[in-house]
Amino acid sequence: MLPADDVPARGTSTLSAPASSALVLVRRRLVPFLFVLYVVAYLDRVNISFAAAATSRPMRRDDP
């Protein structure tokens, strides 16, 4: 276990300034982009399931 004087105070960071700014950049730019990709992938998966359900029924001659 670490001595009490080696433990950083709550709310302080042990990262250097460039590393901290890189994390801020990732959070601001990459996380929203990944969220949009997740939503698009979910919608694509739902669309594929609807298409599979529609194509699994037998087609009749008079269907468009």
pLDDT for 22: 83
The model's confidence at residue 63, banded by pLDDT at 50, 70 and 90, is low
pLDDT (average), residues 28-57 = 86
Could you state, in order of their start, the residue ranges of all structural domains in the chain? 21-55
Based on C-alpha coordinates, what's the Rg of the chain?
Answer: 25
What pLDDT, in 10s, does the model give residues 5-17?
666 666 666 778 8
13 near 20, Cβ under 8 Å? yes
Residue 29: left (phi > 0), alpha (psi -120 to 50), or beta? Answer: alpha
pLDDT for 17: 80
CA 18 to chain centre: 24
CA 55 to chain centre: 31
pLDDT for 50: 76
